Amino acid sequence: MKVGIPSEISPNELRVAATPKTVKRLQKQGFEVYIQRNAGAKANFSDKDFEDAGAKLVNTPAEIYGQCDIVLKVKEPSMEEVDLMREGLVILSYLWPAQNQPLLQKLADKKVNAIAMDAIPRISRAQKMDVLSSMANIAGYRAVIEGSFHFGRFLNGQITAAGKVEPAKVLVIGAGVAGLAALGAANSLGAIVRAFDTRKEVAEQIQSMGGEFLTVEIEEDGATSSGYSKEMSKEFIEAEMKLFLEQAKEVDIVITTAQIPGKAAPKLWLDYHVAAMKPGSVIVDLAASTGGNCSQTKNGEVYTTSNGVTIVGKLNQLPSQASQLYGNNLCHLLDDMGKAEKWRIDMEDAVVSRAMVTYNGKINWPPAPLPVSPTAGGGAKKVTAPTAEELKISDAEKSKKATTSMFIRLALVGALLFVVGRFAPPEFIQHFTVFVLAVFVGWQLITNVAHSLHTPLMAVTNAISGIIVVGGLLQTTDDISNPMTILAFIAILVASINIVGGFVVTHRMLKMFKK
């Protein structure tokens, strides 16, 4: 089978759908790879790079669309490009099916089987093919770099002989993939980072990235089963706008990431928020292409408002990195579709059926809802949350089972101790009692210490090892063949190794706090 990669005709699109590395991967999958000349020039990949990787160069897009079985693209094809496509061709690219019905109709009329990479469902199995996430990761990182450049000051705080520099304050609105990437980048650069999201479930993710989770007092959650946020109530939005106004007076950089597939981006940062910001502040709007989260964003432009606030409506795509990640996403999908050897379009597959927006001359959009829990018969099983009464019954059953299990264990231990006490000599009982108490104390000591402290604890156990050494010395005799002497020697050896290791670990730990 032949895979073709045409040049992107949009002057603003710097990415390419394959890189020399992914070309090699496509060949390992069994495909012949054809690429249009200069297709990777904007992403800093030369024709020689592709030739060295094993791709065959062609001069025109007509050769790609007319000869290849599968075409890989970034931007959605133009109507003129669709005219060049042959019947039965499979194309993988961004298509934005909710906004491009005329394009879908033309693809269907040409009987082109089109997979919208931006329509890959957000399920665990499809994460490796999710181009929206991989591109959002780059956008979030780049947003911090752009914001820092236009801010013109340090992001981290410093105390120098020349004076004190306060750390910059960065607010990220929306804690999806892009938002979390921005949080991580800003935090690593030393900024004070805050983030807002309508989904309460992301609070821990924000905190784990070093940010402070901002929320409003209203008990309302914006989470949905699709992974995107839902539209919030009027009361929530009013409280949200009030919170943003308070933050506008404090923060230096605002990064907005909220987008809704198939719809215009919600307006979250309004004129009075911009007016409240300090001169020199920066807004980086990652939703600029869909209307912008800021009411004053101009798509594709960077400009400064009358009160000195810079609004960034375009980002460098980091085309080399973005092309590599996008190419990996495409290769993962081709892997799932059987590679060249077992290639097939399986419309029963949850990923393919929802991303295949045109198939055999018909439009396949919008797709059927994704089942929450598949049953054995292939249908959907409705999942409902347990009621309070069911939860009480469940907890009661668990408690009853735990109590029964505990009594069984105690009975077995009691029976064992009775047998030991009935038939063992008195000296054994004395030593056995000391052994049991030692095990109990040691178990309580170890299990009640946090995992993060286990390494320091190893150094502290030198004292316990010292007691073992003393006990072993007291048990040694002149008779080398005595089993007690042999065991005492082994105990002394092992405890000595532990002591030496403890001192080494302690020494290394102390060096961490020395310059």
Mean pLDDT score, 219-240: 68
CA distance linking residue 48 with residue 58, whole number of Å = 13
- 133 labelled catalytic: yes
Tracing tokens 């000051």 back to the chain, one arrives at 153
- The one-character DSSP state at 125 is G
Burial of 419 (0-12, 13-18, 19+ CB in 10 A): exposed
Q: What is the pLDDT of residue 478?
A: 79
Point out the catalytic residue in the list 118, 130, 252, 285: 130
The first and second tokens of residue 436, run together, are 């049991």
What Å distances lie between residue 259 and 174, 203, 249, 349, 481, CA to CA?
9, 19, 25, 27, 79
- For residue range 401-414, list pLDDT tens digits in order: 778 887 888 788 78
Q: In this predicted model, which residue has the larger pLDDT, 320 or 390? A: 320
Residue spans of beta strands (DSSP E) within 341-385 = 356-359, 362-363
Q: What is the pLDDT of residue 423?
A: 80
- For residue range 318-368, list pLDDT tens digits in order: 899 999 999 999 999 999 999 999 999 999 999 999 999 999 999 998 887
Q: Model pTM?
A: 0.68
- The one-character DSSP state at 119 is G
SS3 breakdown of the chain: % helix, strand, coil, rounded to 5?
50, 15, 40
Query: Comparing C-alpha atoms, which of 339, 340, 334, 369 is closest to residue 352?
Result: 334
Phi and psi at residue 164, to the nearest 5°? -100, 140
Q: In this predicted model, which residue has the larger pLDDT, 440 or 80? A: 80
Is the pLDDT at 387 greater than 80, yes or no? no
Point out the catalytic residue in the list 127, 158, 226, 444: 127
Burial letters for 315-332: b for 16+ Cβ neighbours within 10 Å, e otherwise?
Answer: bebbbbbbbbbbbbbbbb
Q: What is the pLDDT of residue 390?
A: 54
Is the pLDDT at 460 greater than 60, yes or no? no
List all residues 6 or more positions away from 28 whose beta carbon is below 8 Å from its beta carbon.
none
- 228 labelled catalytic: yes
Q: What is the pLDDT of residue 449?
A: 58
Is the pLDDT at 259 greater than 90, yes or no? no
Residue pair 164/158 in contact by the 8 Å Cβ criterion? yes
Length of the chain, please? 515
Average pLDDT, the chain: 85
Is the pLDDT at 384 greater than 50, yes or no? no
pLDDT > 90: percent of the chain: 53
The first and second tokens of residue 161, run together, are 């002989």
Strands 362-363 and 302-304: unpaired
Query: Comparing C-alpha atoms, which of 5, 1, 121 is closest to residue 61?
Result: 5
- 303 labelled catalytic: no
Q: What is the pLDDT of residue 220?
A: 65
Q: What is the pLDDT of residue 382?
A: 45
Is the pLDDT at 309 greater than 90, yes or no? yes
Burial letters for 378-401: b for 16+ Cβ neighbours within 10 Å, e otherwise?
Answer: eeeeeeeeeeeeeeeeeeeeeeee
Is the pLDDT at 130 greater than 50, yes or no? yes
pLDDT tier at 18, thresholds 50, 70, 90: very high
Q: In this predicted model, which residue has the larger pLDDT, 502 or 241? A: 241
What Å distances lie between residue 373 and 82, 369, 376, 384, CA to CA?
38, 12, 10, 11
Is the pLDDT at 244 greater than 90, yes or no? yes
Point out the catalytic residue in the list 29, 36, 93, 133: 133
Q: What is the pLDDT of residue 305?
A: 95
Point out the catalytic residue in the list 47, 122, 353, 496: 122
